[in-house]
Every structure is written in structure tokens, then in C-alpha cells.
């Protein structure tokens, strides 16, 4: 199977619309087909990975724990827009601790979240072969 660099760009808050959940489903499917998958969280997309989400009160499934499984799927690069966090009064400390085990480094646990500015995000996007936006 041909392996390509896939980037999923997430720009919507979770729960209010179905985009965030649908994106995550396609991410998992792409990874199951052993594609090289990265994720970007821009604009309201940063709310998808905030810590302490509790959706019991709105009667919807809290799917944020699934982001912690991405390391098992060899998805190790989650790019987060630093400007988007700042505009929303958030810092990286408000996000879940998402990690992966590096098979090339004795399975050491390493952070998956990469904080980048718009310039860094643009440069990363330029290296992708397939970009899917949600």
C-alpha cells in the first residue's frame, strides 16, 4: 500500500457540531491503513483537546480520551496553533497531556503536542501530501 503524509486540520470546537468527532473517526481509519498521519489544531479546534472535559450534563459521549490512544496508532505529531490558544485565553497547560512511546528510543514516553506559530504551521502544511480539513 502506498503511504502518504496525511494532515487533518481541526478548526471546530467539539460537541456543538459533529465535525470534531467525524475527523477523529477518519483519523483512526487512516491510521489503521498505515498512513503517515499528523493532526493540526487551529482556531476553535484547540478546544477539542482541553483537559477535564465532562460531557455528562449534555448527554453526549466524551470522546476526548480517544486522543490519548493516538500514540498507539503511531500518530505522534499533534500541531497546536500558539496564536489560537492565546486568543482564547488558554495555554498549553489547559490541554491534555498527550504522549507516545518512541520505539526508536527504548519506548521512552514523549509529548505528542507540538506548539507552533502560524509560520511554523504553514511550513509544516507545505510538507503534506493530503490535507483534510474539518
Partner 1 sequence: MAMLHIVNKSPFERVAFDSCLTHANAGDSIIMIEDAVVGAVDGSSFSGKVKAAMADKTVYVLGADLAARGLDGKAMDGIVSVDYAGFVDLTANNDTTQSWL
Partner 2 sequence: MASLNIGGKDIALDEEGYLENLNDWTPEVAEALATAEDVTLTSEHWEILNFLREYYEEYQIAPAVRVLTKAVGKRLGADKGNSKYLYSLFPYGPGKQACKYGGLPKPTGCV
User: Which part of the chain contacts partner 1 (CB under 8 A), choosing from 25-33, 53-61, 98-106, 112-120?
Assistant: 53-61
Neighbours of 67 (CB within 10 A): 21
What secondary structure, in 3-state letters, does 3-61 show? Answer: CCEEEEEECCCCCCCCHHHHHHHHHHHHHHCCCEEEEEECHHHHHHHECCCCCHHHCCC
Q: With respect to partner 1, which residue has the nearer C-beta, 5 or 91? A: 91
Is residue 72 within the footprint of partner 2 (CB under 8 A)? yes
CA 89 distance to own-chain centroid: 19
Work out how close the CB of 89 gets to partner 1 at its nearest, in angstroms, rounded to a whole number.
Answer: 3
Residue from 4, 25, 29, 55 touching partner 1 (CB under 8 A): that is 55
User: Which part of the chain contacts partner 1 (CB under 8 A), choosing from 47-55, 70-78, 105-113, 123-131?
Assistant: 47-55
Amino acid at each position: 500500500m502506498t503511504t502518504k503524509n496525511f494532515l487533518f486540520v481541526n478548526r471546530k470546537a467539539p460537541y456543538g457540531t459533529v465535525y470534531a468527532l467525524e475527523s477523529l473517526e477518519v483519523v483512526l481509519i487512516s491510521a489503521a491503513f498505515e498512513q503517515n498521519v499528523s493532526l493540526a489544531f487551529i482556531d476553535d479546534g484547540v478546544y477539542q483537546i482541553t483537559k477535564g472535559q465532562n460531557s455528562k450534563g449534555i448527554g453526549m459521549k466524551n470522546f476526548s480520551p480517544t486522543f490519548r490512544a493516538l500514540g498507539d496508532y503511531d500518530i505522534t505529531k499533534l500541531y497546536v496553533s500558539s496564536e489560537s490558544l492565546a486568543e482564547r485565553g488558554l495555554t498549553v497547560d489547559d490541554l491534555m497531556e498527550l504522549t507516545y512511546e518512541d520505539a526508536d528510543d527504548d519506548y521512552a514516553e514523549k509529548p505528542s503536542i507540538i506548539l507552533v506559530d502560524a509560520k511554523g504551521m504553514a511550513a509544516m502544511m507545505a510538507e503534506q501530501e493530503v490535507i483534510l480539513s474539518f
